[in-house]
Amino acid sequence: MQMCPECSHDNNDTAKFCNVCGAELLGLLGKSEILHSRYRVTKVLGCGGFGAVYLAEDIKQNNTEVAIKVMFDDLNWTAAERDENIENFQEEANILRSLSHLNLPKVFDVFADGGKHYFVMEYIEGQNLKDIIERSTVIGGITESQVIGWTIQICDVLEYLHNEKIIHRDIKPDNIRFTPEGQIKLVDFGIAKIFDPKNPKTATVKRAATHGYSAPEQYSGTEYTDARSDIYSLGATLYYLWLCEDPPAATNRLADPKVFKPPRQVNTAISENMEQVILKAMELRSDDRYQTVAEMKDALLGRVVEEPPVLELSATRLDFGKISIGTTTSRTFDISNIGDGILKGTITSTVPNISISPSNFSISGSDSPVTITVTVTAIRRSGTVTDLTVRSNAGTRKITCEYVVEEPLISVFPTNVEFGTIFRGGKKSQRFTIENNGSGTLSGDVRSDSPCVTVMPDQFQIQKSTRQYIAVTVSDKSTGGRNGNIHITSNAAAKNVAYSYRTLWLSMLQLLCMVFGLVFVGGLVIGVMQLKKETSTQGVVKPTHPVRPRINLPRFQKIGYGGHPNWSPITNKVVFHSNIDGDNEIYVMDPDGSNQQQLTYNDDADFYPEWSPDGQRIAYCSGRRNHYVIKVMNSDGSAIRTLTSSDHVSGLPSWSKDGSKITYHTDRTGLYNIWSMFANGYGQDQVIAQRSSSPHYSPVDDVIVFESKQNNMWDIWAVDWDGSNLRNLTRSTYTCVSPSWSADGSHILYACKKKGEEGIWIMNRDGSNPRLLKHITAKYFGGALSPDGRYLLYTAGDNPENGDMYVFRLDEQL
């Protein structure tokens, strides 16, 4: 759909003329079209040769009305012209964005969308100066005092611009708008430039200036435009105000001076002083005009009868919004003297949590407004409506300050962290959660009472209804242990989390391992270390890593029937589930499919087994009829322990690198998402809230990969253990599921259903370099890499849980 540039009616894209008013259509945006996922277009405000301005609603800011300017892309432009026009458009946005003045619109956003360039600015209701004059019933229907008041506002904003080295170059009645309160806003900086006498760009204007209002130098390719060009345009605007017609173009005046009529010949209501101001401002030679806007303003005020000071406030209400306890928010307003003489006064507040700067003022009639900054500090039981009093020699006025104090509420869980036993010099980590159950922002610090106990992060800022995880790490070289507290200070309340641990020297078994060269992993001696003699003056003998027996398998071999196979990180055993005997049970076997041993025997179905990092335990899913739990058992099938509740579906467990935590997916919130718990089942906590499943912990750090369906597409995502740093790794247009890590944590394996390239894919851990590892055409499939990176173990079949299992030797080691 496309809107009509005249009446904003929505027409079909193929229409040439509006079916309501008959105006020619220009391919504008459609009504209610959303830009930048944020702005809903509602109306056409204006349309010119280079672009259009739309009225829109900011749906992220309570549908606040904004104006959006878009640059047209003319197919007749050359590449150089297009680049220059884009540069000019972006320069307009950048100029406005850098400015801050009462009489200038604010720019909020700059973006490109669909190959077009946009910027979002303050929407100014009301009329432009040309509309006001055209609605006058007779020539001279405005008074000279009105004109002077308007001109002074324009002079003030031009003085500000010129001090910033910016020339507008398009001052005219159309570009001078009035707010409903009568305040002037100078708009359209489309041909504005930063003045630089050494830069030829300020000498030439490729975009056509406005005839009648542009100074002669704006038509020349040799002269530079400067502040005096704006003075000419302001004089031409005054000419229009009094004569209700555009002045002749400067080029016509140069050719025939008689085409220019002195203003008083047409309108005798103009004072002689006003006419002299117009004539001098519109001199054809820039050296003959006023050299600064201040000079022109002084000349204009020379005919004004001196009046007493008049107090004017830019606002009578300041809305500070919502403020969190202990934080400050500031707003500003302007005090102006629109009369004569000296305006003096003070601003006071009756409450101690409001400060005012400056609190007094002295303003002459020719001075710029004084900006007053009001700062509110949120404290408990402070009022939400407070009046400021502005007292002056021109009267007393009130300004209402409104704000809502938000009070955060802190909760901490658990309040006691037990580390158990750690060996002297070793490390162990736990975590607790700080949650904001109130409103506003909860902020504060976390510190430990011992240098042996560290916390990360040690500061927090938590929005309402959200939480922050705090990691606590113990590393103590002394013996005995410690009981202590972690102190939390916040803008809500102070809290403590107790901790305790015991420290021991190395166990006897570990000492024996050190003496005899054995490797101790999680309570099991698993192999003999190689010793190698280093050539040095001391003849030091150092151990290397334990040696895993190398396996040699055929390039491709079917090894059994089942699902979710994965290698032990310590031995060469493979664990998997299979319903080959009727019910799904957990089995182990050698990588070639031999020596299959059943580990579980019960009436429940057992799925998705995962080895612990030390190879001594297996986590798996067990249950029936939408009541599945996470269980853990020893590698021989003994000591089975249930970790999660049967009230929900929990599945696909995965161990952290040190075996202290397990991540899994569950539907306990009504939607599958990722949770984490300690390996004993305690501390169950949500990692992320978005729809997600199939988590897999990195074997080298605390990153979790998982599958998630967003925007109707399954992708592989990654997140840190505490729910932070969430990122989409695949961003594909086809289904990507079932991620798993390589043993060294450098690659991520996943199943991808890209048409024609279905199968097991692999990518770097940051999502880069995705490529097909093994083409598989079955309906369901998934895989895992061997610890040495030489073999791919995968399943394929028509059943999502069981299928044929294969081992495939890769062309090169990963």
Instruction: Kindly report the number of other CB atoms within 10 A of residue 662's CB atom.
Output: 26
pLDDT-based confidence at residue 193 (cuts at 50, 70, 90)? low
Which has the minimum average pLDDT: 290-304, 525-539, 761-775?
525-539
**695 has a pLDDT exceeding 50:** yes
Pairing of strands 780-785, 771-775: unpaired
Cα 422 to the center of its chain, rounded Å: 42
Average pLDDT of the residues in 309-329:
88
pLDDT-based confidence at residue 209 (cuts at 50, 70, 90)? low
Identity of the residue numbered 63: N
pLDDT-based confidence at residue 417 (cuts at 50, 70, 90)? confident
The reply to whether 311-406 shares the fold of 32-122 is no
Identity of the residue numbered 227: A
pLDDT score recorded for residue 624: 82
Average pLDDT of the residues in 278-301:
92
Average pLDDT of the residues in 403-432:
83
Angle between helices 293-301 and 144-163 (to 10 degrees): 160
**540 has a pLDDT exceeding 50:** no
Return the CATH number of 410-504, one of 2.60.40.10, 3.40.50.1360, 1.10.3720.10, 3.90.1580.10: 2.60.40.10
pLDDT score recorded for residue 244: 87
* CA neighbor of 634 nearest in space, from 692, 588, 689: 588
Largest distance between two CA atoms of the chain = 115
Please name the residues in contact with 113: beta carbons below 8 A apart, sequence gap of 6 or more: 35, 36
- Write down the pTM of the prediction: 0.39
CATH class belonging to 557-809: mainly beta
Average pLDDT of the residues in 745-774:
91
Report which of residues 539 and 625 the model is more confident about: 625
SS3 243: helix
Average pLDDT of the residues in 694-720:
93
Please name the residues in contact with 123: beta carbons below 8 A apart, sequence gap of 6 or more: 55, 65, 66, 67
pLDDT score recorded for residue 535: 36
- For tokens 């009529």, name the residue: 261
* CA neighbor of 703 nearest in space, from 651, 739, 667: 739
pLDDT score recorded for residue 61: 92
* CA neighbor of 800 nearest in space, from 785, 776, 773, 781: 781
Rg, C-alpha atoms of the chain: 38
Half-sphere exposure of residue 705, counting CA atoms within 13 Å on the CB side? 26
pLDDT score recorded for residue 627: 85
Domain segments of the chain: what residues?
Answer: 1-28, 32-122, 129-285, 311-406, 410-504, 508-543, 557-809
Which has the minimum average pLDDT: 358-367, 476-485, 635-644, 718-727?
476-485
Return the CATH number of 32-122, one of 3.30.200.20, 3.40.640.10, 1.20.1250.20, 3.40.50.2300: 3.30.200.20
pLDDT-based confidence at residue 288 (cuts at 50, 70, 90)? very high
Average pLDDT of the residues in 174-183:
88
Identity of the residue numbered 600: T
The helix (run of H) or strand (run of E) holding residue 460 is strand 459-462
Predicted confidence (pLDDT) per residue in 443-474, tens digit: 899 999 999 999 988 999 888 888 888 889 89
pLDDT score recorded for residue 481: 84
**305 has a pLDDT exceeding 70:** no
Pairing of strands 791-797, 495-504: unpaired
**208 has a pLDDT exceeding 60:** no
Average pLDDT of the residues in 238-248:
91
Q: What is the mean pLDDT of the chain?
A: 84
Which has the minimum average pLDDT: 59-63, 439-443, 539-543?
539-543
Q: Is 106 exposed, middle or buried (0-12, 13-18, 19+ CB in 10 A)?
A: middle
pLDDT score recorded for residue 632: 96
* CA neighbor of 410 nearest in space, from 329, 456, 465, 486: 465
Average pLDDT of the residues in 25-51:
89
Pairing of strands 10-11, 2-3: antiparallel
pLDDT score recorded for residue 223: 66
Contact present, 387 and 347 (Cβ < 8 Å)? no
Pairing of strands 416-423, 495-504: parallel
CA distance 405 to 393: 35
**412 has a pLDDT exceeding 60:** yes
Give the ranges where 638-796 is alpha helix by DSSP (H). Answer: none
**722 has a pLDDT exceeding 90:** no
Average pLDDT of the residues in 255-271:
91
CA distance 290 to 690: 65
pLDDT-based confidence at residue 812 (cuts at 50, 70, 90)? low
Structure tokens belonging to residue 135 = 């609605």
pLDDT-based confidence at residue 517 (cuts at 50, 70, 90)? very low
pLDDT score recorded for residue 100: 87
**Whether the bond into 787 is cis, omega within 30 of 0:** no
CA distance 786 to 774: 15
| Residue 247 DSSP symbol | P
**Whether the bond into 457 is cis, omega within 30 of 0:** yes
pLDDT score recorded for residue 201: 44
Please name the residues in contact with 536: beta carbons below 8 A apart, sequence gap of 6 or more: none
pLDDT score recorded for residue 610: 96
**703 has a pLDDT exceeding 90:** yes
pLDDT-based confidence at residue 48 (cuts at 50, 70, 90)? confident
In CATH terms, the fold of domain 129-285 is Transferase(Phosphotransferase); domain 1 (1.10.510)
CA distance 786 to 793: 7
**493 has a pLDDT exceeding 50:** yes
* CA neighbor of 685 nearest in space, from 402, 447, 435, 359: 435
Report which of residues 313 and 424 the model is more confident about: 313
Structure tokens belonging to residue 553 = 């398998």
Second CATH level (architecture) for the domain 311-406 = Sandwich (2.60)
**809 has a pLDDT exceeding 60:** yes
